[in-house]
Each structure stands twice: as structure tokens, then as C-alpha cells.
Amino acid sequence: MTNIIITDLAQKLTKFSDLWSPKIVAELNESYIKLAKLKGEYVWHKHDNEDEMFLIIKGELKIELRDKVLCLKRGNMVVIPRGIEHRPIADSEVHVMLIEPKTTISTGDSKSTEGKKSTQGEWI
């Protein structure tokens, strides 16, 4: 019998409070589905080999690109293509779902993590 699991995202989001530290909640093909809480500015970075998807569950997130700023609200989704430099900014706490290949490191190619933890995520 196939092992099919229903995941309660709201319940998973109550299990952690740390910021900029994605938590893995499921696997999909060769990707992880992650939840994260964001507040403040992240580091400028890019992912040379992976696209990155952000789905806003709660709050508003700005994603700075070198030539414009994307403003995302609850229910919005964006895919940042591989190789595009970006920096997420959350003025107040934002909850996001990320879908990205299992090889994706949160800080991408950034040499300066400015105190941000570089991670692939941990399971919750």
C-alpha cells in the first residue's frame, strides 16, 4: 500500500520559531518542500544550478533583484530562475513555502552569509 501523508502546514509552522532556517516537510521527486519564517534582510545570493520557488503563506515579502523589487503578498508565488541574484526582505514576520531541489543551499553562492545560517534545511 502506498504511504500517503496529509501535512498540516499551519501545525508545522507552530513547531519552530527560528528565522531564515527552512524546515523540510515533504519530498517531491528530487525536491524538498520547505517551510520558513523570515524577518529582516537575507544576503544577496544566487543559485547557479537550481530554480527557487517562494509561496507566501502569511505576510508580505520583498525580493530584491539587481534591476527591480518584487512585492509578494499572501497567496502570491514566484520562481526565481537559477543564476539570478536576489535578496529576500521581510519587514515583519513572513511565512513561506519553498520548493527547491534537494541540493539547494539556502545562501547559494554567497561568500558573506552575514550571520545567516547556510542550510539545506532540517526535517520537522
Per-residue model confidence (pLDDT) at position 108: 64
Per-residue model confidence (pLDDT) at position 115: 55
What's the pTM?
Answer: 0.87
Provide the residue-wise pLDDT of the chain in tens; the chain has 124 residues: 678 999 999 999 999 999 999 999 999 999 999 999 999 999 999 999 999 999 999 999 999 999 999 999 999 999 999 999 999 999 999 999 999 889 888 766 655 555 545 556 789 9
Q: How far apart are CA 40 and CA 44, in angstroms?
A: 13
Give all domains of the chain, ordered by start, each with its CATH number: 21-114 (2.60.120.10)
**Region label for 37, one of left (φ > 0), alpha (ψ between -120 and 50) or beta (otherwise):** beta
Per-residue model confidence (pLDDT) at position 51: 92
